[in-house]
Amino acid sequence: MRNPVQQYLEDIVAQCGDTDGAVADYIPELAAADPDRFALALATVDGHVYEVGDTDVRYSIQSISKPFTYALALTDQGPEAVAEKVDVEPSGEAFNEISLAGDTGRPRNPMINAGAITAASLVAGGSGAERFDRTLAWYGSFAGRELEVDEAIHDSELATAHRNRAIAHMLREFRVLEGDPEDTLAQYVRQCSVEVDTVDLARMAATLANGGVQPLTGERVLSGPTTERVLSVMATCGMYDAAGDWISAVGMPAKSGVSGGIIAVLPGQVGLAVFSPRLDAHGNSARGVTLCERMSRDMEMHLMHVGRSSRTAVRAAYPLSRLSSRRRRPEDDQAVLEAHGDRARVYELHGDLLFAEAEHVARRVVADDPELAVFDVRRLDDVAQVARETLLGLRTTLREAGAEAAIVDPDGVLPDPDAGTGEASPVFPDLVAAVVWAEDELVRRHGDRDPDAPDDGDAVVAEHPLLRDLSPGAREVVDGLLERLTYAEGEVVLEPGGSFAGVHVIVRGEAVATVDGPGGPDDEPRTLVTMNPGTSFGELALGTDGVQETRIRASRDLEVLRLGADALERLTTERPEVAVEVWRAMTHDGYRVADRALRASVTLG
């Protein structure tokens, strides 16, 4: 079964095929990059990754390294010490501008080259090489694997690092850097040459989205407060002199690199990575920017779209076989439900349904691969448009696989755009009604009876254990004692407190067994079970000293065959050999019903 989120990502990649811009040419190895490479990866905070395109192609991390080195410097030195060396103000300048803040003499932020070289110098270690080794291991803890350096990129970049060399010496001149600026420059160039793929970057972004906890390993890589500080600087400074346009249009903390990568972080939900080497005038991936803008708009990923975050919107998920619909069915139908009940599943949703939560629902359903899915949305609060579209995409996915979905939605939380048409999903006021639908659908799909054939109540009755298990001679005797009775919808068949009146086998229609509510006879009665053709009622009074304890009412026009109490007593006296067969059949059926009731471990509300 195809995941609708994966389908959406593939669709928008095809739609956002911009080829504007050009590869970075000031580093020879980058100038040789294939401009048509493209990859997209979206990593959730629980570790799942969606991939489109060349996600296994590796390239140098470049400036996407900056927020992670800044995070390490903050961890090693503390925010106060780092702030003495580098500010956190947007520069409005290009990433490689040779300038310092006029009022403080410090680099304006750690996302431009001057600030990033300064942050690299603040990593703990006795030399640039030692600091880099710690930095490389640090990056790997975010990616969830060991990373390596692309030596060809490193050599090419170091040989042409004239501008960055000038920045490093300027920083040393103004005492921002301490020690040999060449040592720090070599460390910085080496960190920019670390080799990653797009999945690595998505997981690194997802670690930030997850509050500093790596989704795959579960390791807390970064403290919560430091994560917040890093994301704040990424939001205001990560896209250089295009930061204002980015945060307005896309609305996610982000960082780009001149090799063509972009990472974006939606806190509490996902980490996003895009790779496309053609750069715009700001040094950001042109196609990557276009794609991120489209995803933010479609998927409501803008951080100003506020909703209460939750790990998952799935409160509970379980197969239909764990439930009782309070409906007694013919034995053949019940056998179908026992054999195929696990092919239908119920998903109880709760909280706010934003993209991350809807994605989790879609992924869970696709993994389960149900034949029928019932979504109980009575506990949902805020539902984003992207969540509605994701669930509609999930419905399409289910139908393409020959499956179907229904919804428990008495308050119209998830309105169906196809309402009133044949494409609409079944909607129910409560879970009981939805489960009845699912049971009926399973019987229709897997039972032996032709679902399009008219109901033959007498044929169904013949399969009731009271009649089916009798010998031909006994069956002939019992047939002569059966009374055919009818009751109008709403008419009471049996009253509580009455004496045993006989066994009633339903031929057509429907009956319900109810008891008084907690407030007594004036309270709303509680339905215990709904009974269909081929099932019976009345015999349970034999186990309660012959006293009827429930009220049996025709919920639809009802036709029954009754083996009355007088007829049963006469049979016992006059034809004991037949009576023995009848009592044996009734006992077997009683044990069957009791066993099924004991195994129904969930009571529906």
Residue owning tokens 């410090």: 106
Q: How many CA atoms lie within 13 A of 467 on its CB side?
A: 27
| Tokens read off for 314 | 């799935």
Which residue in 50, 59, 139, 240 is the catalytic one?
240
Report CA Rg, the chain. 35
Contact (Cβ atoms closer than 8 angstroms) between residue 234 and residue 263 = no
Q: State the amino acid at position 393 in one-letter form.
A: G
Phi and psi at residue 571, to the nearest 5°? -65, -40
70 is catalytic: no
Q: How far apart are CA 546 and CA 379, in angstroms?
A: 43
The four Cα atoms 105, 111, 112, 115 give a dihedral, to 10 degrees, of: 40
63 is catalytic: yes
Q: Where are the alpha helices (DSSP H) in 283-417?
A: 286-299, 331-340, 355-368, 385-400
Length, in residues, of the chain: 605
| Tokens read off for 397 | 């996915």
| Tokens read off for 306 | 């506020």
Q: How far apart are CA 440 and CA 184, in angstroms?
A: 72
Which residue in 70, 188, 347, 487 is the catalytic one?
188
Q: In what order do the strands lie in the sheet with 39-44?
A: 49-53, 39-44, 270-275, 261-266, 254-256
Which residue in 63, 285, 325, 425 is the catalytic one?
63
Q: CA torsion sign, 207 to 210 to 211 to 213?
A: negative
Provide the 8-state DSSP code for 492. E
Q: How far is CA 115 from CA 63, 71, 85, 588, in A?
A: 11, 13, 8, 82
Q: Name the strand (E) or helix (H) holding 148.
A: strand 148-149
258 is catalytic: yes
Q: What angle do CA 183, 187, 193 make, to 5 degrees?
A: 145
Which residue in 5, 59, 66, 408 is the catalytic one?
66
Between the two ends of the chain, the Cα-to-Cα distance in Å is 31
Residues annotated as catalytic (active site), given as ranges: 63, 66, 188, 240, 258
